[in-house]
């Protein structure tokens, strides 16, 4: 009896000293929201609420939680024409629906802060790259840039996107029409066509990079939902052998 108890104690001590396997990071996802002078208070609110609602969509939640033991890390910031993008939601690992709820609550607690009138997209990309470098060892790195216009100040985005700390980062875009309250459908299409060409030539990069289009800020939620689903369902399948005991949920 004593010998059995002693062996059990030794076994238990051995088990507690065994190193635990580090948790994998499936994806680091940084979202940069445009708050330049062309975005008024109403549009800012539609953008923030649209992102919060997109994160609450059941299909997006399922995509975030698709691989147990390998969470997606997410952070949100805003950018404009000055050299000081603002963190909105610090890095958080999404391991449960409650984690997504925390992000939504944080977004809805924000107060709009005035920024410069210009559009410094290169600085926004550089800031996003610096944030992503804080999450080493992830399978995939994704930077989202939302905007309703072209860069008109600061470093040129077509150069910044190829800086060393962005070498393994996929950059996607979400573009928004600014004239949707008064313009007709044809004018909105022409505006978005031009902005998409600009994004494809100067902003996005990486395997599978894409641009999503919103006809107005009222359409931001639906557009963000589509974009998140595309990004989250592009899994690093080749890395899943790290988690042999886990099951990918569809």
pLDDT in the model for residue 116: 74
Tell me which of 178-187, 209-218, 241-250 is least confident. 241-250
What's the CA gap between 117 and 119, in Å, rounded?
7
- Look at residue 123 in the predicted model and tell me its pLDDT: 95
The predicted model gives 170-180 an average pLDDT of 90
In the predicted model, is pLDDT for residue 138 greater than 50?
yes
- Cα 104 vs. chain centroid, distance in angstroms? 13
Mean pLDDT, residues 72-77 taken together: 98
Pairing of strands 72-79, 86-94: antiparallel
**pLDDT per residue as tens digits for the range 29-59:** 999 999 988 899 999 999 999 999 999 999 9
Backbone angles phi, psi at 175, to 5 degrees: -110, 150
Residue 11: predicted pLDDT: 35
Query: Which residue is associated with the tokens 């996607």?
Result: 172
pLDDT class for 219, splitting at 50, 70, 90? very high
Range of lowest pLDDT (33-42, 54-63, 71-80, 194-203): 33-42
Q: Where are the beta strands (DSSP E) in the chain?
A: 27-34, 72-79, 86-94, 141-147, 169-176, 211-214
Residue closest to 232 by CA, chosen among 25, 15, 21, 26: 26
**Residue 21 pLDDT level (bands cut at 50, 70, 90):** low
Residue 89 to residues 50, 77, 78, 248: CA-CA distances in angstroms?
A: 15, 7, 10, 27
* Average pLDDT taken over every residue of the chain: 86
In the CATH hierarchy, which fold is given to the domain comprising 28-236?
Rossmann fold (3.40.50)
Please give the backbone phi and psi of residue 112, each rounded to the nearest 5 degrees, phi first.
-65, 135
What pLDDT does 243 receive? 47
What DSSP letter does each residue of 113-132 carry, written as one string? ----SS--HHHHHHHHHHHH
Q: What pLDDT is attached to residue 236? A: 43
Q: Is 4 exposed, middle or buried (0-12, 13-18, 19+ CB in 10 A)?
A: exposed
Q: What is the per-residue burial (b if ≥16 Cβ within 10 Å, else e) of 78-94? A: bbbbbeebbebbebbbb
Q: Token pair of 89, please?
A: 């939601």
Rg (CA), the chain: 21
The arithmetic mean of pLDDT across residues 15-38, rounded, is 77
Residue 115 has pLDDT above 50, yes or no: yes
Beginning with the edge strand found earlier in the chain, give each strand of the sheet holding 169-176 in spatial order.
86-94, 72-79, 27-34, 141-147, 169-176, 211-214
Residue 249's pLDDT is what? Answer: 43
The C-alpha angle 228, 231, 237, rounded to 5 degrees, equals 140
Domain ranges of the chain: 28-236
Smallest CA-to-CA distance from 45 within 183, 218, 175 is with 218
């Amino acid at each position: 009896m004593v010998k059995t108890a002693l062996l059990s104690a030794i076994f238990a001590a051995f088990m507690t000293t065994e190193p635990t396997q580090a948790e994998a990071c499936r994806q680091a996802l940084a979202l940069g929201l445009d708050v330049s002078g062309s975005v008024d208070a109403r549009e800012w609110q539609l953008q923030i609420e649209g992102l919060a609602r997109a994160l609450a969509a059941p299909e997006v939640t399922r995509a975030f939680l698709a691989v147990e033991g390998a969470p997606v890390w997410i952070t949100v910031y805003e950018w404009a024409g000055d050299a000081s993008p603002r963190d909105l939601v610090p890095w958080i690992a999404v391991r449960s629906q409650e984690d997504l709820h925390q992000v939504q609550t944080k977004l809805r607690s924000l107060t709009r802060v005035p920024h410069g009138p210009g559009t410094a997209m290169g600085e926004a990309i550089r800031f996003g790259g610096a944030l992503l470098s804080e999450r080493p060892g992830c399978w995939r790195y994704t930077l989202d840039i939302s905007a309703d216009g072209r860069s008109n100040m600061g470093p040129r985005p077509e150069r910044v996107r190829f800086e060393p700390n962005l070498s393994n980062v996929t950059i996607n875009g979400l573009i928004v029409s600014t004239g949707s309250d008064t313009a007709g459908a044809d004018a909105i299409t022409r505006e978005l066509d031009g902005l998409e060409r600009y994004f494809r030539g100067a902003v996005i990069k990486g395997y599978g990079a894409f641009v999503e289009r919103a006809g107005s800020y009222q359409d931001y939620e639906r557009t963000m939902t589509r974009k998140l689903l595309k990004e989250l369902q592009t899994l690093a399948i080749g890395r899943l052998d790290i988690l042999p005991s886990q099951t990918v949920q569809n």
